[in-house]
Chain A
């Protein structure tokens, strides 16, 4: 069994994430895939606005920080200028599915050859836990203090299901990081996303169900339990689109 060491594509500094936050796991998985493919020198990452806004300090590849929701457009600009480089975005649910819906849908529709790591934790973490487009019905947040009421706040958006309808999407999978098995499956999915990009097959997105113990007001373990009991039924895991290689 190999040593459990820091991936080279992650810089050796402490992150700012809350205890129990799953961003750390997901960062690590992305970095491991970059290492294994040997592509750090050819990769440009795009940071969102949200909790992972500072990830340019953590990833060792070249990084660009985008305005809120615009990462897929920024990634498009990079990729069109450098079609042979790897370009990924790393976005939260508010960034990708609310303010950046237009950029997301159109990058997908164009079959933009980029990989999106979409971290869905059903809330706006950085701003203090407001309702997100993926907040579950009945979920209490800062801006839905009585629980999300579908009559007034409408329904959550299932991004993988929605994007899988677009011809430009080569690969869309929803995974989770609530246990070792799902963590390994997530890594496999991220790898697949980057391989799809390498093969110039088009748009790839990996939606990763994630926790926010701080804003959910739960211990990390409780938060994992909630992910399993509440999120998995609403956001079924699986591959929603896979173009033939």
Chain B
């Protein structure tokens, strides 16, 4: 099929429909509004549901109800709105329900800015809700990946019974790139209802309960331990990264920042510096093995983010602090430019 030029937000929305998403619940917030607008137009024509909720809290709880009744669904928002959703995300994770949550990040804290940012790394990977939970986080870096990872997100959500987050940013949401939907098939729409769904037992099975409350500590502990075993499986099977081997200076970045890093690393190589890029495709699980592999011959690691350096901890943990890790970032809504990253790489090279 030929490629079409689409905005990241719209491409993601189209991908959700093609992945069999039947219901979308959301609340307006920049810079992700094209997702809701696109689905408001398209969902009624594909037999699906678009509903603008009264708040992000309302939206995530509608997702909880819909997912609990066994229907594939999604919500999207941007940073301040995700903060509001975290309560609901915790309940969804606690009830083992599959759904997809999109965060098209903007600057924070507070109302912050509407410009692109990556300052929700900690929130996404560490504190996406109260309690003992992790949520798989996928990090697209192009409009095509907005599409491919949406499909992937639904499949991870349903295989491991967990909410899955797509962590994009304002650049990826707003930019247009050619995109193909060849990756989708008719079978991507779920046909049968899952056996655990609360959708009316029809007198044909015991009643199903969707719940995250366990008054007996031993019950709750067992449920959480089982869930963490699933996280281990996700780590084994779903962790991903794209990288070059044998670089002397490894530059780690995800999302739209990784694109800028790509240009900067190319500039460095043209200038005879043995730099290489490392791009995590998943932020939880963090691609630890892959990073160690990329860093076999590295002397220094540089992390680049649109934040004050929230991914640095994960990089250091993955490398067990065996290599010096430096950071370069812009925050507040700035996208770093290739030259400033190139300068930083050069500076590191000179200090080796």
Which one, A63, A77, A86, contacts B66 given CB within 8 A? A77
CB pair B69 A82 closer than 8 Å: yes
Chain A residues within an 8 Å CB radius of B73: 77, 81
In the complex, the answer to whether A70 meets B88 with C-beta atoms within 8 Å is yes
A74→B202 contact, CB < 8 A = no
Pair count A-B, CB < 8 A = 139
A 104-122 binary contact with B (CB < 8 Å = 1; else 0): 0110000000000000000
B204 touches A103 (CB 8 A): no
Is the beta-carbon distance between B66 and A78 smaller than 8 angstroms? yes
Task: Name the segment of A53-61, A184-192, A198-206, A211-219 touching the other chain.
Answer: A53-61
Say yes or no: A103-B211 contact (C-beta < 8 A), given A41-B201, A41-B202, A80-B51. Answer: no
CA distance A66 to B94 in the complex (A): 11
**Is the beta-carbon distance between A77 and B69 smaller than 8 angstroms?**
yes
In the complex, the chain B residue whose C-beta lies closest to that of A67 is B91
- Let me know if B207 and A77 touch, CB within 8 A: no
**Distance between Cα atoms of A82 and B58 in the complex (Å):** 18
Question: For window 56-110 of chain A, which residues contact chain B by CB distance below 8 Å?
Answer: 56, 59-67, 70, 73-82, 85-86, 102-103, 105-106
**B61 sits at the interface (CB 8 A):** yes
Contact B207–A60 (Cβ < 8 Å): yes
Q: Tell me whether A62 and B65 are in contact in the complex, defined as CB-CB below 8 angstroms, given that A42-B200, A53-B213, A85-B199 are known contacts.
A: no
B207 touching A81, Cβ below 8 Å: no
Q: How far is the CB of A87 from chain B (nearest CB, A)?
A: 8
* Residues on B with beta carbons closer than 8 Å to the beta carbon of A106: 53-54, 58
> Which of B69, B88, B212, B213 has a CB less than 8 Å from the CB of A44?
B69
Q: How far is the CA of A62 from the CA of B204 in the complex (A)?
A: 12
With A70-B61, A76-B65, A82-B200 known to touch, is A62 a contact of B23 (CB < 8 Å)?
A: no
B198: chain A residues within 8 A (beta carbon): 44, 62-64, 78
- Interfacial chain A residues near B22, Cβ < 8 Å: 81
- Contact bitstring B269-292, A, C-beta under 8 A = 1, else 0: 000000000000000000000000
Chain A nearest CB, measured from B214 CB (Å) = 11
How far, in whole Å, are A104 and B91 apart by their CA atoms in the complex?
19
> B197's closest neighbor in chain A, by CB?
A62
A13 CB → nearest B CB, Å: 13
| Number of chain B residues close to chain A: CB under 8 A | 42
Residues of A within 8 A of B213 (CB): 53-54, 65
User: Of residues B23, B68, B70, which shows the largest number of chain A Cβ atoms within 10 Å of its Cβ?
Assistant: B68
CB of A142 within 8 Å of the partner chain? no
Residues of B within 8 A of A81 (CB): 22-23, 49, 65-66, 69-71, 73, 199
Asked if B199 contacts A62 (CB within 8 A), the reply is yes
B64 close to chain A: CB less than 8 A:
yes
Q: Which listed residue, A42, A62, A102, touches B58 by the CB 8 Å rule?
A: A102
Are A63 and B212 closer than 8 Å at their CB atoms? no
Any B CB within 8 A of the CB of A139: no
Quick check: B200 and A74 within 8 Å, CB to CB? no
Establish whether residues B55 and A102, one from each chain, have CB atoms under 8 Å apart when the complex forms. Answer: yes
Complex CA–CA separation, A80 to B69 (angstroms):
10
Instruction: Tell me which of B23, B197, B201, B203 contacts A77 (CB under 8 A).
Output: B23
Identify the closest chain B residue to A84 (Cβ).
B200
Is A160 an interface residue, CB under 8 A from the partner? no
Interfacial chain A residues near B70, Cβ < 8 Å: 81
Chain A 173-199 near chain B by CB (<8 Å), digits 1 or 0: 000000000000000000000000000
A65/B209 in contact, CB under 8 A:
yes
Residues of A within 8 Å of B207, CB to CB, are: 59-63
Q: Nearest chain B CB to A149's CB is how many angstroms away?
A: 30
**Which residues does chain B contribute within 8 Å of A70, judged by CB atoms?**
57-58, 61, 64, 88
| Interface membership of A207, Cβ < 8 A | no
Does any Cβ of B come within 8 Å of A32's Cβ? no
Chain A residues whose CB sits within 8 angstroms of the CB of B59 once the complex forms: 73
Shortest CB-to-CB span from B120 to chain A, Å, is: 22
Q: How far does the alpha carbon of A42 sit from the alpha carbon of B202 in the complex, in Å?
A: 6
| Bound CA span A53–B70, Å | 22
Contacts of A56 in B (CB 8 A): 209, 211
CA distance A19 to B16 in the complex (A): 51
In angstroms, Cα B57 to Cα A70, docked, is: 8
Which residues of A in the span 14-70 have a Cβ within 8 Å of any Cβ on B? 40-44, 46, 53-54, 56, 59-67, 70
A60–B88 CA distance with the chains assembled, in angstroms: 25
* A79 contacts across to B, CB distance below 8 A: 65
Tell me the minimal C-beta distance from A163 to chain B in angstroms: 14
Contact yes or no, A74 B199, CB < 8 A: no
The answer to whether A41 and B203 touch across the interface, beta carbons within 8 angstroms, is yes
* Contact between chains at A77 and B65 (CB < 8 Å): yes
Is B88 a contact of A67 with CB atoms below 8 Å? yes
Q: Does B298 contact A (CB under 8 A)?
A: no
Closest 5 CB pairs of A and B: A77-B65, A106-B54, A77-B62, A73-B61, A74-B65
A-B contact pairs, 15 of them (CB 8 A): A41-B201, A62-B200, A63-B207, A65-B95, A66-B64, A67-B61, A70-B64, A70-B88, A77-B23, A77-B69, A80-B23, A82-B200, A85-B199, A86-B200, A106-B53
